[in-house]
Amino acid sequence: MSRKIKIILNPMADMGNAWKVANDLRPLITEYGNADWSGTVYPTHATELAKQAGEQGYDMVIAMGGDGTVHEVVNGLMQLPEGSRPILGVVPVGSGNDFAHAIGVPIESDHALAHALSGEAFPIDLAVMTDERGRREYFDNTLGIGFDAVVTIRSHKLPVVRGFLMYLTAVIQTILLNHNPALIQFETDQEKWEDQVLMVTLCNGGREGGGFMLSPESKMTDGVMEYVMVRKVSRPVMFRLVPEFMNGTHPRFTKQIRMGSCKKISMTSNHPLYIHADGEIYTSFGSNLRQLTFEVLPNALKVVRG
């Protein structure tokens, strides 16, 4: 019995290149049967479309776009009862494509689509954030607070460069212009502590920004999330750490960086928290959000993996 498939396309992904990619892939669909297409036209539209797809009885939803498109689709699917959530497929057509990297999806669009249409689905973990106002947001790969959230905000304002270079440029800008540590109280399911930090990243997957290997040991099937924290350090030290994060060799800097794993974690900050979830901006400059809780959801969603 063939699957009932919905493809959700973000035509503006990869600076608009996704539209052309999708057009080139249309003939491939007929080789595997058929699929219905929907395009996004405003932020969070993919969330609405994914939820509707589940309600309409689709067996699979394929996110065709970047990490932001996948993030929105995941948040739509997670609004559905567990038994009626469609399988997630991914065709990476974005700047970072970090979730696709984490699940082993081919980077070539035609190979990724063929794999999504014919591959086997396996359950993966997700995580959920609840803020002090009670709003919930799911994330599939990484969620960053502080430094890497500001990097994400700045990267969205760099229309000239693409891919990893876009994120690297934003990293340099953030070190120079936004060097603002926060004093945060942390509590996990194992311990409590307080620290001055420039960056906190929670990792379900290992990579973000198209090439920063924040948590190389992270697995999406182990029932825990890793945290990576950069303590209050100087700007020169931050520049020193950038290539270490690119190579995944930063764990050796134990004085500057704290790493660990947990199933739950809460944070209370003395400064507003700027947040990205899978590269999507959750809070930006002007926000006053200071309290967050996080929890891993084991085997929450079936995904066609590599």
DSSP 61-108: EEEEESHHHHHHHHHHHTTS-GGGPPEEEEEE-SS--HHHHHTT--SS
pLDDT tens, position by position, 184-230:
999 999 999 999 999 999 999 999 988 899 999 999 999 999 999 99
Residue type, 299: N
The CA-to-CA distance between both ends of the chain, in Å, stands at: 22
For residue 160, what pLDDT is reported? Answer: 65
Residue 56: CB atoms within 10 Å: 11
Model confidence at 27, pLDDT cuts 50, 70, 90, reads confident
Helical (H) or strand (E) element with 135: none
Q: Taking 50 as the threshold, does the pLDDT of residue 173 lie above it?
A: yes
Strands (E), the chain: 5-9, 36-39, 60-65, 87-92, 121-131, 136-139, 142-146, 182-188, 192-203, 225-231, 257-262, 264-269, 275-277, 280-283, 291-304
Give the separation between CA 245 and CA 148, rounded to whole angstroms. 12
Please check whether residue 264 is in contact with residue 130, taking contact to mean a CB–CB distance below 8 angstroms: no
pLDDT tens, position by position, 258-271:
999 999 999 999 99
For residue 1, what pLDDT is reported? Answer: 44
Give the separation between CA 66 and CA 90, rounded to whole angstroms. 9
